[in-house]
A and B are shown apart, each in its own frame.
Chain A
């Protein structure tokens, strides 16, 4: 499979996502550190909250939805 799990773009080496969604995933991971410190939430709670927060980037929401759908 050569395309991103979410869109039709080519995935980057070592990731199942394209460059856009991979950057979104990296930011999502980084953001979790701050969310956990701020609210003490679990990874799943974080993903659920982030998809409903205004200001969350479109590609970040898509990655969060993708992770949640695979759980």
Chain B
């Protein structure tokens, strides 16, 4: 009997691709329900109605009203009811309700991960109705290619993936309970202490992550560099210079360094021994998301969020496999030869692909990490036509890494000569490439540091043409960049591959951290320091890690989601009680920093009229316009005010106008700074008004 099946996808672009792949003719009809596009595909006798969500259409809200804490009574509701930004979600919910009429079956075709499973589940439960759940099935796929999607349709799970859904639902509820309660507690503590309201946030993963940055800043601020010396020497063989390495990498005393320099400078060395060994460098494993983000940062300086966004675009256009994966493995179910055949049609990769196609067996280098849902990130072979710069870079990296992981190891011959110089031992090091192997496939992202030596013989004498000792200092630990911070989160097992990038972005958005080389702001520092004192559990890595483990246990069926949420409330309740007891102290410490920040951000200079007050940026509450005025205008002892440009952010320069003494401000046009005197009546501006 012909069926009418409602297929729910995560995004409009994947709906189009799935509809084309599943339609017998590859030509589905595209129709509209209100403003929402959907597709009708014919598959045998069945009619498939394919409609997309826009990510999550349902979210968690508080039951009842009020902006206080603790809040434990929650429910799932449409995102538009929660005041979330996207108004189109209402249209999608209504369209899905309409299109579900007369459906005889339902398919979740969202991305195969926790979020995808939860998106389809909440839509089926709340928009279509709970009767749909018993008739729902789950498509599992890692690429949006026609072959994969058809295979996935034929091998669907007969029911929804409930353990994954339960883990996803619990994660959202847990994060909401932590995030909303702690953020309200922080914001309200500041209001209690200062009367001012400022939205502050802290979450289950945000707190420990920010703490890492704070601890690193403390290490840097309390660092004492220690001096050490390095001996730099050089020899010349057949008119070519070669560096010599002293037997000790570091000398701890200046007097020792001077002794070596005096003993060896201008002398000759004798080769006492020559060693050579073959070194094999295995090919790198294919990328998981973290590896890809780190490598894109290393070679292109791309932020992890930009890398993820580009990888997702490439996935949605079916050029690469699903990027949110932990796996560094390519299972045997993937047709590697077919991917190589397709890549061989692309001139950029043809040469390497053809070399690999000549191999009898293709055995990819596998990494240690695995993911039950998805393989490592790999190209599908489809040839991209027009890509933006970021997508082009990420695609090239993924393809070349894929080619590299299928290639042979690189083999080098390492040669080392022991040189005796007046009783001191130096090394002459060389390296010769015997087989470049995978390094050929991974150009230009790997450099082969070959140092070819002439023929060496024991007993040969070599002149020491250059010798110096140089004082160096030990360095403080480096500040994090987004890539190293991401790695630390991964190593500490906090957050997930899908959420870590967002957590870092939130820390930037809240002005807790700043810069590409991550620095903690005064506000971020103050929040962590205050919480360490009064509520250390909130920023405890151990607690966060334990909660992550609970979520994994739900997914593997070892723990019930309700138990985890009950435990979350049990954990959170004493934390919030203790927070409430100390709210005033917490609030007053943070509000001091906020006041200081506000002052720094808005101070433009000393008042030229009264000489005592400060010129500060102000906002007119009625008109919403910015202006600058002396702080003494409040007590009536000064009336100095200035109008300000409304569309540009104004910065202090710390300088005064040489003509009228008014503060000089700075604005940016693109990246170009422009300084000007604040006083519109300044004599220097007369020419401008004419």
Chain A residues with a Cβ under 8 A of chain B? 20, 23-24, 27-28, 30-31, 34-35, 37-40, 50, 53-60
Contacts and interface: CB of A to CB of B under 8 A. Distances in A.
24 contacts: A20-B218, A20-B221, A23-B218, A24-B221, A24-B222, A27-B223, A27-B224, A31-B224, A31-B226, A34-B252, A37-B252, A38-B226, A38-B228, A38-B252, A39-B227, A54-B473, A55-B223, A56-B224, A56-B225, A57-B220, A58-B221, A60-B221, A60-B222, A60-B223
Contacts of B476: 55, 57
B224 A50 contact: yes
Contacts of B226: 31, 34-35, 38
B46 to A, nearest CB: 69
Q: What's the dominant secondary structure at chain B's contact region?
A: loop
B475 A55 contact: yes
A57 B222 contact: yes
Which residue among A23, A27, A40, A56 has the maximum number of chain B CB atoms within 10 Å of its CB? A56
Contacts of A50: 224-225
Interface string B624-659: 000000000000000000000000000000000000
Contacts of A24: 221-222
Contacts of A40: 254
A13 to B, nearest CB: 15
A30 B223 CA distance: 11
A56 to B, nearest CB: 6
- The residue in B221, B228, B474 that gathers the most chain A C-beta atoms within 10 A of its C-beta is B221
B619 interface: no
Contact of B222 (A20, A37, A55): A20
Contacts of A31: 224-226
Nearest to A26: B222
Contacts of B221: 20, 24, 57-60
A23 B226 CA distance: 17
Contacts of A30: 224
Contacts of A27: 222-224
A21 B329 CA distance: 49
B657 to A, nearest CB: 32
A31 B252 CA distance: 13
Interface in B320-370: none
Given A34-B252, A38-B226, A56-B224, 6 more contacts: A27-B223, A39-B254, A50-B224, A54-B225, A57-B221, A57-B224
B253 interface: yes
Residue with the greatest number of chain A CB neighbours at <10 A, chosen from B222, B227, B253, B254: B222
Interface in B218-250: 218, 220-228
Given A20-B222, A38-B252, A60-B222, A55 B227 contact: no
A60 B219 CA distance: 11
Nearest to A29: B224
A54 to B, nearest CB: 8
A56 B224 CA distance: 5
Contact of A60 (B224, B228, B253): B224
A67 B464 CA distance: 46
A24 B476 CA distance: 13
A54 B473 CA distance: 9
B399 to A, nearest CB: 41
B591 to A, nearest CB: 15
Nearest to A28: B224
A23 B684 CA distance: 52
Contacts of A54: 225, 473
Nearest to A30: B224
Contacts of A38: 226-228, 252-254
Contact of B225 (A20, A39, A53): A53
Contact of A55 (B228, B254, B473): B473
B252 to A, nearest CB: 6
Contacts of B224: 27-28, 30-31, 50, 56-57, 60
B362 to A, nearest CB: 49
Interface string B473-500: 1111000000000000000000000000
B395 to A, nearest CB: 40
B526 to A, nearest CB: 11
A20 B475 CA distance: 19
Contacts of B225: 31, 50, 53-56
A55 to B, nearest CB: 4
Contacts of B474: 55
B107 to A, nearest CB: 58
A53 to B, nearest CB: 5
A54 B471 CA distance: 13
Nearest to B223: A57
Nearest to A53: B225
B223 A37 contact: no
Nearest to A25: B222
A35 B225 CA distance: 9
A40 to B, nearest CB: 8
